[in-house]
């Protein structure tokens, strides 16, 4: 036997009643459960499984039965398992508790033994499946029914844990049995039904309530109840429930999940119809599904007429948008329903959404309740209020001898009705109180001010409420005792609801200065309900734990509101359930200070200038014409204010402007004799065109406005928030809103023309600013012209560098400053022409970046730029000189080409064919006479044959190769002689290639010598006979240089080309190479091979035997 576990879930043992859909007069009649009430909460939504499985069949299948109203539906679970499962599922889905599963003896005695139940293999098990999964919601319960309440179950729930993850066991518990019980509430026997309506709570060690219903044999229907969270954690998803028979007699009953699926929602949004551009007219986006865990197949729908004071769009997934009506503040509500299918039954739940629309006075997106600075002047609301000194405030007392007295016609103290007015005399010195019963909703006043209970000084109505959320509304007007038609002087009042007990609530009329204040700890919680509509947006309700009646010594059940500068207050008393309540409203200002555990600091509004706007909402509290934000100590200047006097730059999460970092101290905003308003500064910034430091009649402001600012922080830079202005066309400016005192006025140099320099005035200019006055910072003149110099020359050789002999062009060249950047000379643009040496000077050029342009139409035709840039961009310093540099132009060009030795004479330059040595002369034949004359551009070829002729005049010209510089005998093989080209000034033109050939050919020679010629030696002549120069053969030995290297027995005579075979040369084939080079061009060479064949000795043999002998030897 395992260890008995002490982890059973606690069952619900008190505060339970059962409601039924039918009246059971016979044991076999249905016992259909309608709802279960637990501690006042009604559970009427029953969730049942949509699948059933007999997971483990007990040892006696024939003992398994399904009964309905005394009639067996099926017997023996093994005979037809599919039929059994379907019949069992119907029983588990039916709220008729007389339709149930029954078995004996298919269980095992396992009760309270968690270890044993985990390893047992015989006890019968049933599994209920929920698809879609059922969420475990806050406040839900489970109900397990049992015939006779005398059997133990083990219940284990499976599904997805809160937050997600793999499916797992969510929790388990045993349901502990009672002894065998009969009849209603256990009051009968097997032979009678007992006392109708009798219900008994669980006995010691049992979890079963003995309900007022029986089964067909008068068996008491036991119902065990558990809070769902104790078995399946809130937020988990229930997918399966496994029921194990934990007593041998098994358990006979079923399993229900009961809970809510719709939760009342309470939301806040803001509205201020006075905000610019609708910036504070937001659409509130909400979702009721956020607080409503429901199965996946659930849908939401709106019920009733929607909201009364705004536009509502509601979607089937629970999302919605709400837009309040223009100008509306207060409470708006709507009702909705959520439904889902559960095993063919539609489960629906409903709830109410309460939306509080709260004013946002300063349009910063934070409602006034949560905003610490309601007018965005940077001064916290509490600093613009006064801390209440309760000893100095009126303390109205509603004693027995003060009243109440009927004041309005027909008012009856014994039966106060809505509209009746009652008077309390002399509640404080010289003042009466008129108490009006404004409205009664589900409420009846039994006594307007009871005196036999509570505190006699308090207003203590006794009220009976006929339905939930009933309330009575009261208004108390303070009037002069001498003339009740005259309101009493306005004052501050502290109202304290003293005894919020037994689910009582109080709501205060909107307009209190501090908000509803509670002690700490408090047993009050926010109230949402019908009593919050109509301008009573907030209230509190007791948690129901106090039932002692009126008692000023129980501050945890008290709630306080402060009303400032008024003589009329209103409130509502009510209860969330039908009851008779004793309420108490104290007007004693020191009660919270004297009685509370944590005495609060209470604030009252101030209205310094008496304009009816409290200081916390008044941007000029003392009406001195200077905004509060400027009169505090946060260093705010006028440029940091909106037009209405609120501070710019956004707010923090508490609604306090970011520029004052949590708030600024209130220095003088409530004292009209102290003024921190700013003054103005005027001045003039002009274009000193002639740079003489004096404004002349034609000198005005700059074309582009110039920025001038007050350097408040002295860093010389325009920072965000510093007052500034820009100049008008005449150069004048006015900087507004500068705080009093000394300050530097600075011209922002970045907004002046580039390089502008000060010629008049000072920079910065210090002035003394006087509040609400204007002072002058004087004149500031800036010069913006300078001088540009440069040179334009004739680059005769086109090399891009001015040489000593290169000067200006014969005709002067026109140069101008292109001030408008269009590349064309326009009237009034600074201009000049070059001197003979090419130099020029441009005067009165505006300071800054400008292009200096050469008018190319004044250059020689075809001239091109070889040095400098066109145009030349310069930065002109005011009153200074800058050089535009040197610009060279040429009218000549360059001719390039190649003169090469066409060694193979094919008319094409091959890779190995280069130039001549010595170099060849090439010239531009300017006069066309074919001869190089003095002054004509010329050059010589490089080793590779290339040439480049510089400074060739533009136009058509013949390029001539001086053939006298080419070796004799060479003739042209590629190109033309001369070559005509068109030269473009400043460019390079290619004259192409000229190839010259002098074709030298050396041909191989073959000679034969006899044996004896070889032995004796021999000379062969004529190796030049088959060689040729330019096709002429034979070659005269004087025209070539012959060279060779003796090879074996062969040598060649270099003077005439004879081939010499040395004496003693044996038979064989011999070769020798020779090279011939042209005598006039020794690099023109060719090589050939001479082959000499020396024959064998010939023998005359007539006798073959002799030949054989010789051969054999």
Q: Mean pLDDT, to the nearest integer, of 783-788?
A: 86
pLDDT value at 273 more than 70: no
Give the bridge partners for 184, in sequence order.
194
Indicate the SS3 state at residue 531. helix
- Residues with Cβ within 8 Å of 695's Cβ and at least 6 positions away in sequence, in order, are 684, 686, 688, 760, 779, 781
pLDDT value at 455 more than 80: no
Q: Tell me what pLDDT residue 633 has.
A: 87
Tokens of 533: 């509509």
Share of the chain above pLDDT 70, in %: 96
pLDDT classification of 327: cutoffs 50, 70, 90 = confident
Q: Is the peptide bond before 1034 cis (omega within 30 degrees of 0)?
A: yes
pLDDT value at 266 more than 90: no
Nearest to 557 by CA among 598, 512, 518: 518
* pLDDT tens profile 566-597: 999 999 999 988 888 889 999 999 999 999 99
Q: Mean pLDDT, to the nearest integer, of 999-1009?
A: 91
Residues 376, 647: contact at Cβ < 8 Å?
yes
Q: Catalogue the E-assigned strands of 136-207.
A: 141-147, 153-160, 168-175
What count of other Cβ atoms lies within 10 Å of the Cβ of residue 291? 16
Q: How does DSSP classify residue 200? A: B
Nearest to 781 by CA among 763, 758, 750, 749: 758
pLDDT value at 766 more than 90: yes
pLDDT classification of 279: cutoffs 50, 70, 90 = low
Q: How does DSSP classify residue 392? A: G
Beta strand pairing call for 785-794 and 881-890? parallel
pLDDT classification of 234: cutoffs 50, 70, 90 = very high
* pLDDT tens profile 167-187: 999 999 999 999 999 999 999
Lowest-confidence region among 135-139, 436-440, 642-646: 642-646
What is the rounded CA–CA span in Å between residue 917 and residue 362?
Answer: 99
| Structural element, H or E, at residue 90 | helix 81-93
What count of other Cβ atoms lies within 10 Å of the Cβ of residue 789? 17
What is the rounded CA–CA span in Å between residue 310 and residue 24?
Answer: 50
Higher pLDDT, 918 or 273: 918
pLDDT value at 781 more than 60: yes
CA 584 to mean position of chain CA atoms: 53
Q: Mean pLDDT, to the nearest integer, of 997-1007?
A: 89
Torsion angle of C-alpha atoms 789, 795, 798, 800, degrees rounded to 10: -30
Domains and CATH numbers, the chain: 16-258 (no CATH), 265-359 (2.60.40.10), 389-601 (no CATH), 679-781 (2.60.40.10), 785-888 (2.60.40.10), 892-997 (2.60.40.10), 1000-1094 (2.60.40.10)
pLDDT value at 353 more than 50: yes
Q: Mean pLDDT, to the nearest integer, of 46-71?
A: 96
Q: Tell me what pLDDT residue 1000 has.
A: 84
pLDDT value at 226 more than 90: yes
Q: Mean pLDDT, to the nearest integer, of 41-62?
A: 95
Tokens of 233: 């954690």
Beta strand pairing call for 1059-1061 and 946-953? unpaired
Q: Look over the chain and give the mean of its residue pLDDT values, rounded to a whole number.
A: 90
Q: Tell me what pLDDT residue 1101 has.
A: 47
What is the rounded CA–CA span in Å between residue 785 and residue 756?
Answer: 8
Torsion angle of C-alpha atoms 179, 180, 183, 187, degrees rounded to 10: -40
Nearest to 433 by CA among 468, 392, 480, 473: 480
The full 3-state SS of 656-686, as one line of letters, equals CEHHHCCCCCCCCCCCCCCCCCCEEEEEEEE
* pLDDT tens profile 884-924: 999 999 888 899 999 999 988 889 999 999 999 999 999 99
Q: Tell me what pLDDT residue 288 has.
A: 93
- Residues with Cβ within 8 Å of 995's Cβ and at least 6 positions away in sequence, in order, are 899, 900, 901, 902, 907, 908, 909, 913, 972, 973, 974, 975
Q: Tell me what pLDDT residue 3 has.
A: 40
Q: Tell me what pLDDT residue 744 has.
A: 96
* pLDDT tens profile 459-515: 999 999 998 899 999 999 999 999 999 999 999 999 999 877 778 999 999 998 878
Indicate the SS3 state at residue 158. strand
Q: How far is CA 838 from CA 790, 856, 861, 887, in A?
A: 8, 14, 17, 9
Q: Token pair 């219900």 is at which residue?
A: 199
Residues 138, 228: contact at Cβ < 8 Å?
no
Q: Mean pLDDT, to the nearest integer, of 91-102?
A: 96
Phi/psi-derived region of residue 1025, left when phi > 0, alpha when psi is between -120 and 50, beta in every other case:
alpha
Q: Mean pLDDT, to the nearest integer, of 1003-1008?
A: 94
Q: Is the peptide bond before 910 cis (omega within 30 degrees of 0)?
A: no
């Amino acid at each position: 036997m395992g260890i008995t576990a002490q982890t059973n879930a606690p069952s619900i043992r008190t505060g339970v009643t059962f409601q039924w859909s039918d009246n059971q007069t016979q044991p076999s009649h249905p016992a259909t459960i309608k709802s279960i009430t637990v501690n006042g909460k009604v559970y009427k939504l029953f969730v049942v499984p949509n699948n059933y499985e007999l997971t483990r069949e007990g040892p006696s299948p024939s003992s398994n039965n399904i009964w309905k109203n005394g009639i067996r539906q099926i017997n023996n679970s093994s005979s037809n398992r599919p039929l059994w499962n379907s019949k069992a599922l119907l029983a588990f889905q039916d709220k008729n508790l007389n339709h149930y599963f029954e078995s004996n003896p298919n269980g095992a005695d396992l009760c309270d033994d968690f270890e044993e139940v985990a390893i047992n293999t015989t006890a019968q098990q049933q599994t209920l499946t929920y698809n879609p999964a059922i969420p475990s919601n806050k406040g839900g319960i489970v109900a397990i029914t049992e015939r006779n309440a005398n059997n133990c179950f083990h219940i284990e729930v499976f599904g997805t844990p809160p937050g997600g993850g793999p499916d797992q066991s969510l929790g388990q518990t045993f349901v502990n049995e009672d002894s065998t019980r009969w009849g209603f509430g256990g009051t009968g026997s097997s032979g009678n039904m007992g006392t109708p309506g009798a219900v008994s709570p669980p006995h010691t060690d049992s979890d079963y309530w003995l309900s007022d219903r029986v089964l067909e044999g008068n068996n008491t229907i036991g119902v065990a109840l558990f809070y769902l969270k104790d078995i399946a954690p809130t937020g988990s998803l229930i997918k399966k429930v496994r029921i194990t028979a934990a007593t041998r007699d098994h358990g006979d009953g079923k399993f229900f999940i009961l809970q809510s699926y719709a939760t009342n929602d309470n939301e806040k949004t803001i509205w201020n119809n006075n905000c610019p551009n609708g910036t504070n007219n937001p659409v509130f986006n909400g979702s009721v599904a956020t607080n409503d865990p429901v199965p996946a197949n659930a849908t939401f729908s709106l019920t009733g007429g929607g909201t009364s004071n705004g536009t509502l769009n509601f979607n089937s997934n629970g999302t919605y948008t709400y837009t309040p009506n223009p100008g509306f503040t207060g409470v708006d509500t709507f009702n909705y329903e959520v439904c889902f299918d559960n095993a063919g039954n539609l489960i629906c739940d409903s709830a109410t959404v309460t939306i509080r629309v709260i004013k946002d006075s300063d349009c910063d997106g934070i409602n006034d309740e949560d905003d610490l600075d309601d007018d965005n002047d940077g001064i916290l609301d509490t600093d613009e209020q006064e801390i209440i000194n309760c000893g100095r405030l009126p303390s109205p007392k509603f004693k027995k001898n003060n009243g109440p007295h009927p004041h309005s016609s027909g008012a009856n103290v014994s039966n106060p009705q809505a509209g009746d007015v009652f008077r309390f005399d002399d509640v404080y010195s010289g003042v009466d109180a008129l108490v009006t019963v404004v409205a009664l909703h589900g409420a009846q006043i039994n006594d307007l001010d009871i005196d036999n209970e509570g505190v006699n000084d308090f207003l203590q109505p006794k009220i009976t409420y006929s339905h939930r959320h009933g309330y009575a509304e009261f208004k108390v007007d303070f009037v002069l005792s001498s003339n009740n038609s005259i309101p009493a002087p306005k004052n501050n009042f502290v109202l304290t609801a003293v005894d919020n007990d037994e689910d009582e609530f109080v709501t205060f009329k909107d307009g209190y200065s501090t908000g509803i204040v509670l002690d700490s700890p408090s047993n009050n919680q926010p109230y949402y309900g019908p009593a919050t509509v109509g301008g009573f947006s907030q209230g509190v309700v007791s948690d129901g734990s106090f039932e002692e009646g009126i008692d000023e010594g129980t501050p945890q059940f008290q709630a306080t509101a402060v009303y400032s500068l008024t003589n009329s207050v209103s409130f509502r008393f009510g209860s969330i359930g039908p009851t008779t309540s004793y309420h108490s409203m104290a007007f004693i200002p020191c009660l919270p200070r004297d009685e509370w555990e944590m005495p609060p600091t209470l604030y009252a509004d101030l209205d310094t200038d008496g304009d009816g706007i409290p200081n916390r909402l008044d941007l000029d509290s003392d009406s001195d014409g200077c905004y509060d934000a400027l009169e505090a100590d946060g260093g705010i200047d006028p440029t940091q204010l909106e037009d209405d006097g609120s501070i710019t730059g956004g707010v923090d999460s508490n609604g306090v402007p970011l520029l004052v970092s949590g708030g600024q101290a209130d220095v003088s905003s409530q004292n009209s004799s102290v003024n921190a308003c700013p003054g103005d500064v005027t001045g003039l910034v002009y274009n000193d065109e002639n740079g003489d430091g004096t404004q002349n009649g034609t000198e005005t402001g700059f074309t582009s406005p110039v920025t001038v600012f007050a350097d408040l922080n002295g860093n010389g830079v325009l920072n965000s928030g510093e007052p500034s202005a820009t100049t008008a066309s005449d150069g004048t400016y006015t900087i507004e809103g500068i705080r009093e005192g000394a300050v530097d006025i600075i011209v922002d140099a970045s907004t002046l023309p580039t390089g502008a320099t000060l010629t008049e005035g000072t920079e910065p200019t210090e002035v003394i600013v006087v509040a609400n006055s204007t002072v002058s910072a004087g004149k500031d003149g800036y010069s913006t012209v300078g001088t540009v110099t440069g040179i334009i020359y004739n680059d005769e050789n086109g090399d891009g560098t001015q040489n000593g002999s290169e000067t200006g062009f014969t005709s002067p060249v026109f140069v101008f400053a292109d001030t408008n950047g269009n590349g064309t000379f326009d009237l009034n643009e600074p201009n000049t022409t070059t001197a003979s040496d090419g130099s020029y000077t441009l005067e009165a050029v505006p300071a800054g970046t400008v292009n200096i342009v050469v008018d190319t139409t004044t250059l020689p035709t075809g001239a091109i730029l070889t040095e400098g840039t066109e145009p030349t961009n310069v930065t002109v310093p005011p009153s200074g000189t800058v050089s535009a540099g040197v610009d060279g132009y040429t009218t000549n060009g360059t001719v390039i080409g190649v003169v090469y030795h066409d060694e193979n004479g094919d008319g094409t330059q091959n890779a190995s064919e280069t130039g001549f040595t010595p170099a060849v002369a090439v010239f531009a034949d300017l006069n066309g006479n074919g001869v190089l004359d003095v002054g004509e551009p010329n050059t010589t070829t490089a080793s590779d044959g290339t040439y480049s002729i510089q400074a060739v005049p533009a136009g058509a010209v013949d390029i001539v190769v001086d053939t006298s510089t080419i070796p004799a005998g060479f003739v042209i093989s590629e190109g033309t002689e001369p070559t005509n080209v068109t030269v473009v000034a400043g460019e390079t033109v290619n004259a192409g290639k000229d190839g010259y050939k002098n074709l030298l050919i050396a041909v191989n020679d073959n000679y034969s010598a006899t044996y004896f010629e070889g032995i004796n030696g021999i000379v062969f002549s004529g190796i030049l006979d088959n060689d040729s120069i330019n096709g002429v053969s034979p070659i005269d030995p004087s025209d070539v240089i012959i060279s060779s290297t003796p090879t074996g027995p062969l040598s060649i005579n270099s003077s005439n080309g004879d081939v010499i075979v040395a004496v003693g040369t044996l038979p064989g084939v011999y070769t020798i190479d020779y090279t011939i080079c042209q005598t006039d061009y020794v690099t023109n060479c060719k090589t050939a091979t001479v082959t000499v064949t020396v024959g064998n000795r010939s023998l005359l043999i007539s006798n073959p035997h002799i030949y054989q002998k010789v051969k054999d030897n």
